[in-house]
Structure 1
């Protein structure tokens, strides 16, 4: 019924005035108005929109030849994801979860070329993988890499990928936040999971099939590898519904990891050896007694647990005690990390992002902690994740 109603409205046309024979009143003699300045706002807005449109078209034309569709066959069935060309040697970057368990792997190029690929390196911590295809350099269009450190919240971004198998789909949005954390795909020896840091959050539309594709700035440079979305609903086929909250692995993580995946098949992340609360509310800080001697409450990463014998433990960092559970459910007595190497730490993600993008196993960091109302500097020698 609504379709019929809309159709009838769309077809409505008013009768011509000459057929109505109306006796319209004659207008009174009008007083001439002084000349008005031209309204140039609309033409300028149209020009701005046209320039933005041309820029997006240019980005797509330059980048899309290097964005591929990845089809896999596993014991559980078939899968679909995205990826992009890293270099002229035939290396393709994608997510680990796109190729996990693949018995057969097909890489499809926008040019129409279809070729089998081989996984040569994987990183479960940041959910990255490198595929190798055997093609001549002239058939490969590497996508340039940007610098995720030079990105800003509110910055316009573009995603290109294959959502629901719709190859070469382009969507736009902004960077919604930086320095997020996600769970790693690798377990710790204690049975938990590691954290993946330096994650970009975006509202660009990302759906199943986008995984592994590039998140681009307006220079057409990759600033992230689309990895996941946060959603509370699914379609009738069970696919997650985009909620405007998507996540991408920062390209600065990729810059550190991918060369090692190509040359060695894996990558060793720096390891601190602690579990921290991402962020505390004021109520939780009051309950834990985390104030300075002058009564101020400072944001930071609260250390819940220190791994016995790990780098943080050896440096003397202190976690909460299970024998002192507060009314908020958190163990009391842990250190509050408020800085690293002179940089402020307001949430755990800032500490993790800094360490993952700037440090390697064997190097040191100086963390500023709040303990018993006093600030203290602690030097930690990083290890590699077990």
Structure 2
């Protein structure tokens, strides 16, 4: 700074004075509530699931799974009920199709060992003891395990008296274990019965074979409890096939069978036990023996002529009994002569009942039936057996001799229960 420049005093700056607030402020204008809303939040990205919410695609999946589970549960429940009803009757809604049977042969085709057959079948064969009229062991026979549900096959004549008097029935296995049994159903006509043994479900079912595949001279084994001697095995051959016999007393036409004849030793107590081929399959149910006075279900001993119900008939009757507790058999509604009157030239009609298939088809008293579906008929017993080889509702052709003329009469078989 030079001397000729005037000096200026330094004056501190002061802030401008504050203006007083205005005495009047215009009011704030607000929109009515219905005309204003806060702005919506931005939408969430599609790949992000908002917390606390379930994606919409989950519900169809849950419903579908619930439907599948419901159907599966219903099917399983239905299957359980289908197998064996809970009413204690032992019946099965779908018959043999609803139980676990065995058909595969346990032994090879070339097996020739009786020992091997016995080893396979003895665990499946049981002794049956029935009590009636206050006496235990009043009826003693044999049987075999049909399936894994605890059903046992035996003869009707083994259990019919105990069943009619509601007597207890016991089944004894190879090891001597005893189980209570009850009759599911029985057929006097075919001399068969099905027992239910719920506590014996662990027993091994016997394999079911075919009697139609048998040949005369083929080896067979009979297993049972003859004279009360359990787990007895005898062996022999097939002596004849399609042998019409009765399992009742002589002249009793209530039970005729188209039997497999064998010379394997069969004695009282063998009734109901299995007749087995050398592959270890049941081909028949031992039911009767020949005596010097005729054929009987078992009063005297073996003379080398025994008879078994073919397994095919056992399957049919067991299936019916398992379904309903009863068995049906075919009838024509006519009576035929049996016994000493026959001469081997056919079955003579003794009478025709009204409103029956025989009357509807035109059969008459005195007609002689010589063939059924082309198979020769020699007498009344052969005719009964031939008819019972069919099922109710089937159409059958009868070749009939009437007044020296031969004609064919077709009729539809009726049915009865028994």
Q: 1:213 aligns with which of 273, 278, 284?
A: 273
Deviations 1:290-346 (A, max 9, x none): xxxxxxxxx433333333433222211122xxxxxxxxxxxxxx2222222233434
**Separation in 1, partners of 2:404, 2:398:** 16
Q: 1:363 aligns with which of 377, 382, 394?
A: 394
Which residue is equivalent to 2:367? 335
Shift of 1:184: 6.9
Shift of 1:366: 1.3
**Separation in 2, partners of 1:302, 1:168:** 44
Deviations 1:335-375 (A, max 9, x none): 22222223343455554444323x32222211111223322
Which residue is equivalent to 1:260? 320
Q: 1:83 aligns with which of 143, 146, 150?
A: 143
Root-mean-square deviation (CA, aligned residues, Å) is 3.0
**Separation in 2, partners of 1:261, 1:115:** 21
Q: 1:94 aligns with which of 150, 154, 163?
A: 154
User: Is the 1:198–1:253 contact (alpha carbons within 8 Å) kept by the matching residues of 2?
Assistant: no
Shift of 1:193: 4.2
**Separation in 1, partners of 2:259, 2:334:** 19
Q: 2:256 aligns with which of 185, 196, 217?
A: 196
Shift of 1:185: 6.5
Structure 2 CA distance for partners of 1:53 and 1:184, relative to 1, 3 Å: closer
Structure 1, unaligned runs of 5 or more: 1-50, 187-191, 286-298, 320-333
Which residue is equivalent to 1:148? 211
The answer to whether residue 300 in structure 2 is matched with residue 240 in structure 1 is yes
**Separation in 2, partners of 1:159, 1:180:** 18
Which residue is equivalent to 2:103? none
**Separation in 2, partners of 1:97, 1:147:** 24
Shift of 1:96: 1.3
Q: 1:58 aligns with which of 104, 112, 116?
A: 116
- TM-score, structure 2 normalization: 0.64
User: Is the 2:332–2:413 contact (alpha carbons within 8 Å) kept by the matching residues of 1?
Assistant: yes
Which residue is equivalent to 2:182? 118
- TM-score, structure 1 normalization: 0.69
**Separation in 2, partners of 1:216, 1:318:** 43
User: Is the 1:280–1:300 contact (alpha carbons within 8 Å) kept by the matching residues of 2?
Assistant: no
Matched position secondary structure for 2:212: helix
Shift of 1:260: 1.2
Shift of 1:281: 9.8
**Separation in 1, partners of 2:310, 2:237:** 14
User: Is the 1:179–1:350 contact (alpha carbons within 8 Å) kept by the matching residues of 2?
Assistant: no
Shift of 1:219: 1.6
User: Is the 2:247–2:288 contact (alpha carbons within 8 Å) kept by the matching residues of 1?
Assistant: no
Which residue is equivalent to 1:323? none
User: Is the 2:216–2:239 contact (alpha carbons within 8 Å) kept by the matching residues of 1?
Assistant: yes
Structure 2 CA distance for partners of 1:241 and 1:76, relative to 1, 3 Å: farther
The structure whose Rg is larger is 2
- Between Structure 1 and Structure 2, how many residues are aligned? 298
Structure 2 CA distance for partners of 1:149 and 1:304, relative to 1, 3 Å: farther
**Separation in 1, partners of 2:287, 2:399:** 32
Matched position secondary structure for 1:97: helix
Deviations 1:242-261 (A, max 9, x none): 22222221211111100111
Structure 2 CA distance for partners of 1:179 and 1:53, relative to 1, 3 Å: closer
Structure 2 CA distance for partners of 1:198 and 1:268, relative to 1, 3 Å: same
Structure 2 CA distance for partners of 1:155 and 1:313, relative to 1, 3 Å: farther
Shift of 1:262: 1.4
Shift of 1:196: 1.9
User: What does residue range 264-279 of structure 1 map to in structure 2 within 5 Å?
Assistant: 264-277=324-337
Matched position secondary structure for 2:399: strand
Matched position secondary structure for 2:322: helix
User: Is the 1:216–1:224 contact (alpha carbons within 8 Å) kept by the matching residues of 2?
Assistant: yes
User: Is the 1:279–1:301 contact (alpha carbons within 8 Å) kept by the matching residues of 2?
Assistant: no
Which residue is equivalent to 2:193? 129
Deviations 1:266-297 (A, max 9, x none): 11101022333469999x58xxxxxxxxxxxx
Q: 2:126 aligns with which of 61, 68, 93?
A: 68
